[in-house]
C-alpha cells in the first residue's frame, strides 16, 4: 500500500517544510490537507498517511487505531535508574562494555538502543535496523530532533545510527564478529495490553518471525553473544537454543546465546 504525506490541519511554513522533507527523503507524494481528517484522506486515497506537524511527524497506517510517533518512552526513566547504578534486565543480558558495538536488529522505538548507547559511550557503536521505511524515517528524525534537556538521554538518542534494512538481509552483508552483541526483538506473539506505545508500533511496523537463518546469521556476526527478547509464553527461546532469564513478574523475558559456551 502506498503512503502519502500531508500537513497538520492548519499548516504553517514549518509544517510545509517538514512535509517537503519527508516527500524528498522517502520518495512520496504530497497531498494538501484541505480541512480533511487523516482518516478521510487515508480512505479516499487508500493510503497510509504521514502527517508533518508543527513539532513532529506522525504516521497513520491505513486502518490503525492511532498514530505512531517518536517518543523516548520507557528509555527516559530506565536511563535514570541505570545512571544511578541500578540494574536493567536488557543490559544484564547483553553484558555490554564501554567501546562495544551492538546491532539492534529490530529497532522499533529504540528504547533498548538508547540504553545500549549509554553503556558503550562515544567510543562505542549502536546500529539500529528498521525494516519499515516510514517507521525508520519517523524514528531517525525523532532521535535527531526530539527536544529534551534530559541528559544522558539526548546524547544517547543522537548516537544511534538508524538503518532502513531488513535484519537478515543486513546480517548477510556483515563480516564475521562485526558486532560484539546482536540483539533480536521480533514483534511479540502475544499482546501486552497495557503497552499503548507498543500497540501503535504493532500497527505501523513490520511483523517478523524468528527463523533459523536469522539466528544463524546473528551468531556469525556477533563476537560475544546474541540476545533475544520475547513474550514469556514464547517458545522461541527453547526452539533456537537461548538460555532464558526467567523473571516471574515480567511479561517478557530475555534469552542469551553466549558464543564462548558454544566453543567449549
pLDDT tens sequence across 147-180: 767 668 888 999 999 999 999 999 999 999 999 9
pTM for the complete prediction? 0.90
- Range of weakest confidence among 142-146, 186-190, 228-232: 186-190
Are the beta carbons of 188 and 230 closer than 8 angstroms? yes
Question: Does 256 have pLDDT greater than 90?
Answer: yes
Contact predicate 161/204, CB 8 Å: no
Residue 72 contacts residue 111 (beta carbons within 8 Å): yes
Q: Where are the domains of the chain?
A: 3-60, 75-262
- Please name the helix (run of DSSP H) or strand (run of DSSP E) that holds residue 21, with its range, or none: helix 13-26
Please state, in angstroms and rounded to a whole number, the distance separating the CA atoms of residues 141 and 51: 13
Contact status, residue 203 vs residue 65, Cβ threshold 8 Å? yes
**For 3-60, which CATH class?**
alpha beta
Q: 78 vs 61, 201, 232, CA distance in Å?
A: 29, 20, 21
Report the range of poorest mean pLDDT among 22-36, 45-59, 102-116, 202-216. 202-216
Q: What are 211-226's pLDDT values in tens digits?
A: 999 999 999 999 999 9
Q: Please, are residues 254 and 228 in contact by the beta-carbon 8 Å criterion?
A: yes
Percent of the chain whose predicted confidence (pLDDT) is above 90 = 69
Query: How far apart (Å, rounded) are the C-alpha atoms in residues 196 and 92?
Result: 25
What's the grid cell of residue 146?
Answer: 526530539
Q: What percent of the chain has pLDDT above 70?
A: 90
Distance CA 158, CA 45 (A): 35
Q: Taking Cα atoms as reference points, which of 182, 171, 219 lies closest to residue 101? A: 182
- For the chain, what is the mean pLDDT? 89
pLDDT at residue 227, as a whole number: 98
Q: How confident is the model at residue 146 (pLDDT cuts 50, 70, 90)?
A: confident
Topology alike, domains 3-60 and 75-262: yes
Instruction: Give the model's pLDDT for residue 194.
Output: 43
Assess whether pLDDT exceeds 70 at residue 36. Answer: yes
Q: Which fold has domain 75-262?
A: Rossmann fold (3.40.50)
Amino acid at each position: 500500500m502506498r503512503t502519502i504525506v500531508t500537513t497538520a490541519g492548519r499548516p504553517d511554513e514549518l509544517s510545509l517544510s517538514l512535509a517537503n522533507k519527508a516527500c524528498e527523503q522517502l520518495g512520496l507524494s504530497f497531498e494538501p490537507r484541505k480541512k480533511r481528517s487523516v482518516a478521510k484522506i487515508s480512505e479516499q486515497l487508500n493510503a497510509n498517511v504521514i502527517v508533518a506537524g508543527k513539532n513532529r511527524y506522525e504516521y497513520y497506517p491505513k486502518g490503525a487505531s492511532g498514530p505512531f510517533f517518536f517518543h523516548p518512552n520507557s528509555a527516559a526513566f530506565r536511563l535514570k535508574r541505570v545512571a544511578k547504578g541500578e540494574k536493567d534486565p536488557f543490559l544484564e543480558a547483553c553484558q555490554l562494555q564501554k567501546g562495544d558495538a551492538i546491532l539492534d536488529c529490530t529497532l522499533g522505538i529504540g528504547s533498548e538502543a538508547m540504553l545500549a548507547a549509554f553503556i558503550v559511550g562515544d567510543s562505542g557503536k549502536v546500529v539500529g535496523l528498521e525494516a519499515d521505511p516510514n517507521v525508520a524515517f519517523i524514528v531517525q528524525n525523532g532521535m535527531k530532533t526530539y527536544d529534551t534537556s534530559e541528559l544522558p538521554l539526548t546524547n544517547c538518542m543522537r548516537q544511534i545510527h538508524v538503518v532502513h534494512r531488513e535484519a537478515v538481509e543486513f546480517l548477510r552483508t556483515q563480516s564475521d564478529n562485526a558486532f560484539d552483541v546482536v540483539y533480536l526483538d521480533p514483534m511479540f506473539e502475544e499482546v501486552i495490553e497495557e503497552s499503548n506505545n507498543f500497540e501503535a508500533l504493532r500497527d505501523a511496523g513490520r511483523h517478523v518471525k524468528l527463523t533459523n537463518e536469522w539466528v544463524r546469521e546473528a551468531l556469525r556476526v556477533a563476537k560475544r553473544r546474541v540476545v533475544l527478547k520475547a513474550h514469556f509464553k514464547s517458545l522461541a527461546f527453547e526452539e533456537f537454543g537461548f538460555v532464558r532469564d526467567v523473571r516471574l513478574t515480567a511479561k517478557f523475558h530475555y534469552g542469551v546465546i553466549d558464543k564462548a559456551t558454544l566453543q567449549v
